[in-house]
């Protein structure tokens, strides 16, 4: 019910490279998990509202005022690559 | 020295207040035990005691913290190669609150990668082991926290529970674990798995310790977590010795098929004990509970695929070397950095949220969720608490359930319904039972589920049962 082409399409959406073995395994495993999940398709859910928050809450608003936050340097210190005070990445078009 | 190990965290805090115990000595004792850990329960251990032991009410009783809580300057890797060596520039709100209350960081504990798993075998840092039998899993995903507390490597610990990740390892290790009402504890600084379900809670030796730790985890809502809530009262420390007037409901859907005979036997005898303590025990029904697991795996996977999009090799964590362009950098980073179970769930969640499938999967699962919450609301008109086994079995052998994801997912069968409903649930030790096929007896858990914000009452009834059961987990602390 889920084929190799679908797995590759979803993997691209998820920005996830998969080896050939992983594609094969994923095709089988996702198929069996989806089959289990399909059981909820049999339920009559006509007119049932989807849950948004499990405890009824009003909007969570706060005053829009500046607060101390991470410094520029601290925000960059865990980055794999930094250039000119920003996060460096490979070019989108190599 | 062994006398100190036998003190519960509450007893140790009281002894420190009286001046009978030196908090530095206590910290060093546990630090040395955690550093000599043979269960792979810890992924990082503090090198020295805090310089000035806190004056605050918990007195300096050291705390083990699941790896996925951000701790400033200390590795916070969420069990993932993606975050290997990552030291965040800030701490989670709950970590700060507990440190301020006098529970300093002892160490970080092993877990399934990004909390996805029920055995702690999905850790990039190797599996944690169950102190009752080292060839068996401690449960998961908070397996390191559970193993550490059970083995006396830590006086107490915190973990997170998305579909059972506090309660199930607590059950498998013979300790207490509590998942609070969704929103009761701030999620700020918890590395997210499924945001509508994730909730932090205590893993402790007994119910009194769980109440004391929880008291300092909840409180005023955190402005940094828009889904957090003001807890309506201070958590009351438990004291109840009977269950007169307490109405317990036992749902047929979660106490029959699929549960090991030893676990069912323990449930039956404890229900009889509850009757002797004055409780009424009646069957009840949660008609949609059998669909909870399917709905859960849609919702959790969908939310995880969204949350884990942040691991892209740009701002922190691992980046695959030598990628020629941006897209291949993203794709290779995530290929190398994520383990098999995380990839499986990211794929499932991405599929479920992809164009044309949203209503069939996520939308539908959110409606099932509403039905499950309604089932509980109806049950709570007649009952104070719902009682079930915590896990369908005792601890299983390492590797036994890795081959088939669906078999592993069934571990969460009894815990997932309360997660979907966002309501509090506690697991307490319910004696020992033989695994299927025989062998050394292993811990069993009993789950009590209550309405939103009923934590104090839930803890009180759990305490009465705990005292009557008289479970002694001391054997595995030696």
Contact of B329 with chain A, judged by CB distance below 8 Å, is answered with: yes
Indicate if the pLDDT at residue B348 is higher than 90.
Answer: yes
**Cα angle vertex A51, ends A47, A54, to 5°?**
140
B85, two tokens: 């060596």
Indicate if the pLDDT at residue B52 is higher than 80.
Answer: no
CA distances (Å), origin B393, targets B274, B410, B474: 22, 10, 22
B280, two tokens: 């009424």
| Closest Cβ opposite residue A43 in set B86, B291, B351 | B291
The average pLDDT across B77-98 equals 97
3-class DSSP assignment, residue B389: strand
State what percent of residues in chain B have pLDDT above 90.
Answer: 92
Give per-residue burial for A60-82: e unless 16+ CB within 10 Å, then b.
Answer: eeeeeeeeeeeeeeeebebbbee
Contact of B471 with chain A, judged by CB distance below 8 Å, is answered with: no
Cα nearest neighbour of B291 on chain A: A40
Of B90-94, B254-258, B295-299, B440-444, the one with minimum mean pLDDT is: B254-258
3-class DSSP assignment, residue B199: strand
> Which residues from B are below 8 Å from A45, CB to CB?
364, 367-368, 371
Model confidence at A52, pLDDT cuts 50, 70, 90, reads: confident
Of A35-39, B104-108, B122-126, B278-282, the one with minimum mean pLDDT is: A35-39
Residue with the bigger pLDDT between B264 and B409: it is B264
Cα nearest neighbour of B362 on chain A: A50
Contact between chains at B344 and A29 (C-beta distance less than 8 A): yes
State what percent of residues in chain B have pLDDT above 70.
Answer: 99
Indicate if the pLDDT at residue B248 is higher than 60.
Answer: yes
Between CA B227 and CA A57 the distance in angstroms is: 9
pLDDT in the model for residue B270: 98
Contact of B401 with chain A, judged by CB distance below 8 Å, is answered with: no
Between CA B119 and CA B138 the distance in angstroms is: 6
> What tens digit of pLDDT does each residue of A11-27 get?
999 999 999 999 999 99
> Which residues from B are below 8 Å from A56, CB to CB?
none
B22: alpha, beta or left? (left if phi > 0; alpha if psi -120 to 50) = beta
Contact of B327 with chain A, judged by CB distance below 8 Å, is answered with: yes
pLDDT in the model for residue B237: 98
E strands along B117-190, which residues? Answer: 156-161, 176-179
Size of interface A-B (CB pairs under 8 A): 170
Cα nearest neighbour of B344 on chain A: A26
| Closest Cβ opposite residue B298 in set A12, A37, A53 | A37
> Which residues from B are below 8 Å from A54, CB to CB?
182-183, 196, 373, 420-423, 452
Contact of B319 with chain A, judged by CB distance below 8 Å, is answered with: yes
Contact of B224 with chain A, judged by CB distance below 8 Å, is answered with: no
What's the whole-model pTM score? 0.97
| Closest Cβ opposite residue B294 in set A2, A36, A45 | A36
> Which residues from B are below 8 Å from A77, CB to CB?
89
Indicate if the pLDDT at residue B2 is higher than 70.
Answer: no
> Which residues from B are below 8 Å from A60, CB to CB?
221, 226-227
| Closest Cβ opposite residue B421 in set A19, A40, A54 | A54
> Which residues from B are below 8 Å from A20, CB to CB?
none
Cα nearest neighbour of B311 on chain A: A15
The average pLDDT across B442-450 equals 98
Model confidence at B33, pLDDT cuts 50, 70, 90, reads: very high
Contact of A69 with chain B, judged by CB distance below 8 Å, is answered with: no
Contact of B297 with chain A, judged by CB distance below 8 Å, is answered with: yes
pLDDT in the model for residue A94: 65
> Which residues from B are below 8 Å from A87, CB to CB?
314-315
Residues 93-112 of chain B whose Cβ lies under 8 A from any Cβ of chain A: none
| Closest Cβ opposite residue B354 in set A10, A30, A38 | A10
Q: Which of B68, B335, B299 is nearest to A14 (CA)?
A: B335
Residue with the bigger pLDDT between B119 and B257: it is B119
The average pLDDT across B437-451 equals 96
* HSE-up of residue B116 (Cα within 13 Å, Cβ side): 30
Contact between chains at A48 and B312 (C-beta distance less than 8 A): no
pLDDT in the model for residue B1: 44
| Closest Cβ opposite residue B324 in set A18, A75, A94 | A94
Distance from CA of B24 to the nearest CA of A (A): 32
Between CA B87 and CA A14 the distance in angstroms is: 26
**For residue A50, what is the DSSP state?**
P
Contact of B193 with chain A, judged by CB distance below 8 Å, is answered with: no
Q: Which of B298, B402, B370 is nearest to A46 (CA)?
A: B370
Compute the mean pLDDT over every residue in chain B, rounded to the nearest whole number. Answer: 96
Contact between chains at B314 and A80 (C-beta distance less than 8 A): yes
Between CA B251 and CA B329 the distance in angstroms is: 50
The average pLDDT across B261-278 equals 97
């Amino acid at each position: 019910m889920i084929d190799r082409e679908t797995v590759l399409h979803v993997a691209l959406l998820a920005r996830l490279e998969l080896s050939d073995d992983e594609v094969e395994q994923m095709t089988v495993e996702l198929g069996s998990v989806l089959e289990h999940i399909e059981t909820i398709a049999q339920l009559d859910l006509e007119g049932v509202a989807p849950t948004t928050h499990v405890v009824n809450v009003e909007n969570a608003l706060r005053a829009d005022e500046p607060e101390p936050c991470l410094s520029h340097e601290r925000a960059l210190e865990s980055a794999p690559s930094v250039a000119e005070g920003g996060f460096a990445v490979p070019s989108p078009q190599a | 020295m062994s006398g100190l190990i036998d003190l519960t965290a509450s007893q140790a805090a009281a002894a420190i207040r009286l001046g009978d115990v030196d908090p530095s000595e206590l910290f060093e004792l546990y630090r040395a035990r955690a550093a000599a850990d043979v269960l792979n329960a810890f992924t990082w251990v503090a090198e020295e005691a805090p310089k000035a032991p806190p004056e605050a009410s918990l007195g300096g009783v050291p705390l083990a913290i699941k790896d996925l809580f951000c701790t400033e300057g200390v590795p916070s890797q969420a069990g993932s190669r993606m975050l290997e060596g990552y030291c965040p520039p800030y701490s989670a709100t709950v970590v700060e609150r507990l440190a301020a209350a006098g529970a300093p960081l002892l160490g970080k504990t092993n877990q399934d990668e990004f909390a996805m798993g029920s055995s702690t075998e999905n850790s990039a840092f190797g599996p944690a082991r169950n102190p009752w039998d080292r060839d068996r899993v401690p449960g998961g995903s908070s397996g390191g926290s559970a193993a550490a507390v059970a083995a006396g490597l830590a006086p107490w610990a915190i973990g997170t529970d998305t579909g059972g990740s506090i309660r199930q390892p607590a059950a498998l290790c013979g300790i207490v674990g509590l998942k609070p009402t969704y929103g009761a504890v701030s999620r700020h600084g918890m590395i997210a798995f499924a945001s509508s379900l994730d909730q932090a809670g205590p893993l402790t030796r007994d119910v009194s310790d769980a109440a004391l730790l929880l008291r300092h985890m909840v409180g005023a809502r955190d402005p940094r977590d828009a889904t957090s809530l003001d807890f309506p009262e201070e958590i009351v420390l438990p004291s109840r010795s009977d269950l007169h007037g307490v109405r317990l409901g036992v749902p047929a859907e979660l106490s029959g098929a699929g549960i090991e005979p030893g676990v069912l036997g323990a449930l039956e005898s404890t229900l009889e004990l509850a009757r002797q303590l004055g409780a009424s025990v009646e069957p009840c029904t949660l008609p949609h509970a059998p669909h909870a697991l399917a709905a859960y795996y849609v919702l959790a996977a969908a939310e995880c695929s969204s949350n884990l999009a942040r691991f892209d090799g740009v701002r922190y964590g691992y980046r695959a070397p030598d990628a020629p362009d941006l897209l291949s950098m993203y794709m290779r980073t995530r290929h190398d950095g994520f383990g098999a179970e995380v990839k499986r769930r990211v794929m499932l969640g991405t599929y479920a949220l992809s164009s044309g499938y949203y209503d069939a999967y996520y939308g539908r699962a959110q409606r099932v969720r509403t039905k499950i919450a309604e089932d509980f609301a109806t049950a709570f008109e007649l009952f104070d608490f719902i009682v079930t086994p915590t896990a369908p079995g005792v601890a299983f052998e390492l590797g036994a359930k890795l081959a088939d994801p669906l078999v592993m997912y069934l571990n969460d069968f009894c815990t997932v319904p309360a997660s979907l409903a966002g309501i509090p649930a506690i697991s307490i030790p319910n004696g020992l039972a033989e695994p299927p096929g025989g062998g050394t007896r292993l811990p069993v858990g009993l789950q009590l589920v209550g309405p939103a914000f009923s934590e104090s009452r839930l803890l009180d009834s759990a305490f009465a049962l705990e005292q009557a059961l008289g479970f002694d987990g001391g054997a595995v602390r030696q």
